[in-house]
Amino acid sequence: MGQGRPGAANNAFAILRRMIAKINGDRALALAREVLDIEADAIRGLRDQVDERFVAAVDLLLSCRGRVVVSGIGKSGHIARKLAATLASTGTPAFFVHPAEASHGDLGMVTKDDVFIALSNSGESEELVAILPLVKRLGAKLIAMTGRPQSSLATLADVHLFAGVPKEACPLELAPTASTTAALALGDALAMAVLDARGFGADDFARSHPGGALGRRLLTYVRDVMRTGDQLPKVGPGATVRDALFQLTAKRMGMTAIVDERDCVEGIFTDGDLRRVLERTGDFRDLPIADVMTRAPRTIGVDQLAVEAVELMERYRINQMLVVDGQGKLIGALNMHDLFSKKVI
């Protein structure tokens, strides 16, 4: 009888093992809570370790004339990538370099004007330790984040940030868990301190996130969403309700502006105004629009943010808003549907 394929036997064994495995719900919940407690304690433990060295690291990043280069390997490498991304999105130009690739050419990305941040829990990662003397020789400043103050990496650094933890959350004490959580939190603290020192605000954040919801909210102006030209419903002050109804129906904005001969806004007639007119008896179609329009309507400027229009609409419980220039001349109109379609709301 043939021996068969080893791969097939291994697959069958794995399937059988999964079939006989059973989840102990109580144990799973207890372990989950223990892991969360250990990792929370690891972060809390760093609080008292943040001292003048942290301030020195912030100062190095603020005074950096080049870019921030972040590096690490294994699980620390994943944290390093995240730190680089967080710095870059909050006003500090930064990128990740893999230490092994750095040994084979990528070190050419580093200049004397850069700040190099190296992450390693042991502080002895061979790939990192091998390139750091070259980084120092280039003239770049070095910030090390490790769990061992006496390690090779910490000794080489201009600034060492301690990110050590009493123990890992892994039941086997093998998988990096609490240590990577601590490094992640310390990296976030560093990035946020630099953000605050730079005076980096919501508008700056939106400019680096134009595709996100915040970018749409903070970078979309009234001029980007308003209707203009032939889409703009308007009638003169001598018009009738019949004329206004035609504009409401044809332009589908739920309102029409009433403007004088210079296109300056005198009022607005909305579907709400129409409902109130319908409560009257008799034929209302030939009523002068001036008798039933809302005078002095809410308006907004073309260069204001679309979110400001939303705030005004919500505050005054209106669904439409006219856009005017500095002389009160009608140049556009908004309604809630426009703002929904542009994802401002």
Q: Residues 121-144, buried b or exposed e (16+ Cβ, 10 A)?
A: bebebebbbebbeebeeeebbbbb
User: Is the pTM higher than 0.75?
Assistant: no
Question: How many angstroms separate the Cα of 146 from the Cα of each of 24, 46, 123?
Answer: 36, 12, 5
Give the per-residue pLDDT at 276: 83
* Number of C-beta neighbours around residue 85 at 10 A: 15
Is the Cα torsion angle 109, 115, 119, 124 positive or negative in sign?
A: positive
Pairing of strands 294-295, 265-270: antiparallel
Give 296's strand partners.
Answer: none
Tokens of 210: 């134009």
| Cα–Cα distance for residue pair 44/339, rounded to 1 Å | 43
Question: Residue ranges of the chain with pLDDT lower than 50?
Answer: 1-2
Which pLDDT does position 142 carry in this prediction?
Answer: 96
| Domains in the chain with CATH codes | 29-200 (3.40.50.10490), 222-341 (3.10.580.10)
- At residue 22, the pLDDT reads 66
Please state, in angstroms and rounded to a whole number, the distance separating the CA atoms of residues 144 and 211: 33
pLDDT at 1: 44
CA 328 from chain center: how many Å? Answer: 37
Q: What pLDDT does 10 receive?
A: 66
Asked if residue 36 lies in contact with residue 174, where contact means CB atoms within 8 angstroms, the answer is no
